[in-house]
Amino acid sequence: MLRAITLRHLIAHAPRSIYSCRHLGTLVIAEHEGGSLSGTSLSSIEAASKLLCKDNNSLSLLLAGTGPSLQEAATNAASCHPCISQVLVADSDKFKHTLAEPWAKLIHLVQQKHEYSHIVTASSSFGKNILPRAAALLDVSPITDVIEISEPRTFVRPIYAGNALCTIRYTGSNPCMLTIRSTSFPASASLDSKTNAAPIHQVDLSSFGEEGSCRYVKQSKQESERPDLGSARVVITGGRALKSAENFKIVEKLAEKLGAAVGATRAAVDAGYVPNELQVGQTGKIVAPQLYMAFGVSGAIQHIAGMRDSKVIVAVNKDADAPIFQVADYGLVGDLFEIIPELIEKLPEKK
């Protein structure tokens, strides 16, 4: 029965999808700050470049915002990846903040004009907020948090907190809309390979209209000198066992020594030891560093979801039966208040 359905789908959709792929391109929705693209946007470009084939060979980038920093970001973006064929720029006060309402409308407008086969953005809080809204306006189903592109319309995404991997085929009409998990598509190192800069075009916003139902009030950002949690090479995480915000400082001290980012479990965040945006897990940040060190973390399903793809996992816990030891490459059973200071003392200085 299942096979029959699959076959019927193949017959019904294959000719159309081949046809619709012709002369079409991919659009990447990019975020920028301070005149350059965000790291997660570079990952989405990397993912989009995997969609290119002989029928789908153009990669456009859409940037929006206002003022000189937007223009600077566009210039930088135009030569940041060899696959980029053009940069679209929407310059308006409406995009001063990344509000979903004007952004979704913008994507809708750009899609109507250029008819892309794919629209890709990162699974950042920006991408998660805007892409599904834009998809609804275009009446298509988006596919979020893609970790693998098997074919131009076949993708793998984790479900159930990463405890299952689901392979999905998109059979709907264009565009096929994706958010990608940045840690699964690391931006290639050849970023400063100066190829010819792609042309920059302004998006015609004359038909855009007014949008007034949502207003930006303010933003409170955590300023930190430590590397960004999402892209750090080393992440040091503390859990409930740290017992207080004061004690959490030893985790931060160790992170400093290793040049690492600091993460936390939900329990540590809920108890107020650290701010929300440091939460690693199914509903927080997904990280995949070279080294992940978990201190006083029991290893709940929801936490493992956020760090299971780390290259090397170290767990330090008093409880030898803690589930975290099942995913750890190296485990130490003991008191973190003794082990962390010893680590700080004995670890070599970071390069």
Partner 1 sequence: MKIMVAIKRVVDYAVKIRIKSDKTGVETSNVKMSMNPFCEIALEEALKIKESKLASEVIAVSIGPAQCVDTLRTGLAMGADRAIHVDAPATLFPLSIAKILKALVDVEKPGLLILGKQAIDDDCNQTGQMVAGLLNWPQGTFASKVVLDKEKNVATVDREVDGGLETLCLDLPAVITTDLRLNQPRYATLPNIMKAKSKPIKKMTPQELKVEIRSDMEVLHVKEPQKRKAGVILSSVDELIDKLKNEAHVI
Residue list, annotated binding site for FAD? 240, 265-266, 279-283, 296-303, 317
Residue 196 beta carbon to partner 1: minimum distance, rounded to whole angstroms: 32
Stretch that binds partner 1, among 19-27, 160-168, 188-196, 237-245 (CB under 8 A): 160-168
Considering only the stretches 17-25, 52-60, 73-81, 140-148, report the one whose residues sit in contact with partner 1 under the rule CB under 8 A: 140-148
Q: How far is the CB of 142 from partner 1 (least distance, A)?
A: 6
x-or-dash string of contact with partner 1, 81-100, rule CB under 8 A: ------------------xx
- 166 lies in the binding site for partner 1 (CB under 8 A): yes
Q: Is 171 in the site for partner 1 (CB under 8 A)?
A: yes
Helix (H) or strand (E) holding 15: helix 2-21
The enclosing H or E element of 125 equals helix 125-137
Residue 180's nearest CA partner among 101, 123, 108 is 123
Task: Return the residues of window 255-284 that contact partner 1 according to CB under 8 A.
Answer: 258, 266, 269-270, 275-277, 282-283
Cα separation, 174 vs 101, whole angstroms? 21
| Identity of the residue, 194 or 221, whose beta carbon is nearer to partner 1 in the bound complex | 221
Which region, judged by CB under 8 A, interacts with partner 1, from 14-22, 64-72, 87-95, 208-216?
208-216
Stretch that binds partner 1, among 15-23, 86-94, 235-243, 330-338 (CB under 8 A): 330-338
The least distance separating partner 1 from the CB of residue 201, rounded to whole angstroms, comes to 26
Residues 314 and 327: their CA atoms lie apart, in Å, by 9
Task: Check binding of 62 to partner 1 (CB under 8 A).
Answer: no
Residue nearer to partner 1 on the CB measure, 61 or 269: 269
Of these, 142, 239, 296, 299, which contacts partner 1 (CB under 8 A)? 142
The 10 Å Cβ neighbour count of residue 64 is 25
Coil, strand or helix at 188:
coil
Q: Which residues ranging from 281 to 320 are in contact with partner 1 (CB under 8 A)?
A: 282-283, 285, 290-291, 301-302, 308, 311-314, 320
Residue 148: in which H helix or E strand, if any? strand 148-151
**Residue selected from 73, 88, 89, 234 as contacting partner 1 according to rule CB under 8 A:** 234
Burial class (CB in 10 A: 0-12, 13-18, 19+), 182: buried
User: Radius of gyration over alpha carbons of the chain, in Å?
Assistant: 22
In terms of CB distance, is 245 or 347 closer to partner 1? 347
Tokens of 162: 């990463």
**Rounded Cα gap, residues 260 and 267, in angstroms:** 21
Q: Which of 50, 96, 114, 133 binds partner 1 (CB under 8 A)?
A: 133
Q: Which of 303, 231, 235, 313 is nearest to 269 (CA)?
A: 303
Decide if 192 contacts 76 (C-beta within 8 A): no
State which of residues 52, 191, 205, 339 lies at the interface with partner 1 (CB under 8 A): 339
| Residues 191 and 80: beta-carbon distance below 8 Å | yes
Work out whether 3 is an interface residue with partner 1 (CB under 8 A): no
Helix (H) or strand (E) segment spanning residue 46: helix 39-49
To 10 degrees, the CA torsion angle through 162, 165, 171, 172?
0
C-beta of 87 vs 155, nearer to partner 1: 155
